[in-house]
């Protein structure tokens, strides 16, 4: 049975993934301390070009990143790209938050699910300090997504 229909109110499954800076990030390390935002997206480069949607979404999130941090939250972007690819992407666009590499696709399958090509479906999960999923965005308006995340986080406290 494929468990990719996480719902609001579910406990967020723990994971441990390598970030673009080489650190290992696990969900449970933030328990009791921070809300966590997980932004899943298909891939950094489609056909050797940065995907416009990925870039627009990154810009949208970067523009409100200080506000996200001010809600005592951590934000991570996750795709099946390699750590090396994540590193290049983050450096190329000066992205201030970590991108996690899920080359095994376990976390992508658990959370948003994967599409026919095996890429993560674009979706964002808002997880509170107790590890409970509080909001899920599946149809993402990439240009406005940063604001959607901030609004959702402000409702948590």
In order of their start, the domains of the chain are 35-154 (3.40.30.10)
Q: What percent of the chain has pLDDT over 70?
A: 94
Q: Six-digit token pair at 142?
A: 């990439």
pTM: 0.94
User: Exactly one of 1, 2, 48, 49 is catalytic; which is it?
Assistant: 49
Q: Six-digit token pair at 76?
A: 């991570």
- Summarised one tens digit per residue, pLDDT across range 101-118 is 999 999 999 999 999 899
Is 108 a catalytic site residue?
Answer: no
Q: Six-digit token pair at 99?
A: 């991108």
- Summarised one tens digit per residue, pLDDT across range 22-65 is 999 999 999 999 999 999 999 987 665 557 888 888 999 999 99
Q: Which residues contact 110 (CB under 8 A, 6 or more apart)?
A: 3, 4, 6, 13, 15
Phi, psi of 4 (to 5 degrees): -120, 15
């Amino acid at each position: 049975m494929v468990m990719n229909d996480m719902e609001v109110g579910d406990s967020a499954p723990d994971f441990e993934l390598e970030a673009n800076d080489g650190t290992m990030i696990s969900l449970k390390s933030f328990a009791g301390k921070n809300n966590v935002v997980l932004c899943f997206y298909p891939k950094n480069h489609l056909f050797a070009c940065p995907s416009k949607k990925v870039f627009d979404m990154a810009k949208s999130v970067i523009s409100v990143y200080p506000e996200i941090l001010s809600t005592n939250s951590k934000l991570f972007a996750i795709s099946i790209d390699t750590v090396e690819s994540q590193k290049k992407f983050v450096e190329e666009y000066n992205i201030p938050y970590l991108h996690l590499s899920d080359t095994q696709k376990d976390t992508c399958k658990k959370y948003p699910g994967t599409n026919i090509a095996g890429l993560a479906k674009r979706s964002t999960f808002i997880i509170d300090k107790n590890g409970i999923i509080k909001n899920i965005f599946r149809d993402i308006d990439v240009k406005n997504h940063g604001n959607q995340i901030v609004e959702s986080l402000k409702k948590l406290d």
